[in-house]
Amino acid sequence: MKSMLEVKLVVSRGVQRHLVFVCCLVSLFVLPLFAHAQELSLSGRSSLELEFGLWGGIGTSSTVGLSGTQSEVKGTGYLGGLTYAYGLEENLAVTVSAGVLAVQATSTVGLTSTSQHVRSVVPVLIGVRYYVPDPKPDGKVRPFLAAGIGSYIGTETKNEILVQESRTETAFGGRLGVGVDFHLGSHFKLAALVGHHLMTDFATPISGRRNYNGTGFGMEVGYIF
């Protein structure tokens, strides 16, 4: 008889790829039709943009054994982030962003002890976004190139009944990407984008890895003001 019962629920990559396809289809062929012909100038305006990463996966697991119960949530790949953009010109914007490249949280409850272990990698980047070709003030579909550089911050925290440990690792890196904005009016937009993260190594691995280089695909929802 097995002494341990393990139950796992993992978001399959097949489901994610179907979700990516559906989102792209809606963005490219349906949503732009709802935008009214009106002034959509971005020069001198700001936007807040929430990005959802669609290339990575999030999995949860729960393990029950004689020694106790362990629960884990683990996310891999680019999971998403928040971006602030300001339009310097109609075809040029500066951006400040923070995202999540990886996260892992583990909780263990035993007969005589309890512990929590949390690890994460967060890129904080300053960059530019260049729209090509030069967009018209009433243009509803605007392709762009994007680049950003900054710090990749890895943190690891461990809490037990009598012990608390925490450490932070910082590495330099950046993100290059291409995307398309779809304006739904003067205040709202959607975007589809692909970006590649490239960073130096952490001095000590975070969640078993020294760097988190890789490509991610995402969808954004933005509010322009």
Short-list 51, 18, 48, 28, CA closest to 217 = 51
CATH class given for the domain over 4-224: mainly beta
| Extents of the domains making up the chain | 4-224
At 55-87, the pLDDT tens digits run 665 666 677 666 667 676 666 677 889 999 999
135: buried, middle or exposed (CB in 10 Å: 19+, 13-18, 0-12)? Answer: buried
| Average pLDDT score over residue span 26-42 | 55
Task: Express as a percent the part of the chain with pLDDT over 70.
Answer: 71
- In this predicted structure, what is the pLDDT of residue 8? 39
10 pLDDT more than 70: no
Q: Among 20-24, 101-105, 142-146, whose mean pLDDT is lowest? A: 20-24
pTM score, two decimals? 0.75
Structure confidence at residue 117 as a pLDDT band (50, 70, 90) = confident
Task: Express as a percent the part of the chain with pLDDT over 90.
Answer: 42
CB 184 within 8 A of CB 27: no
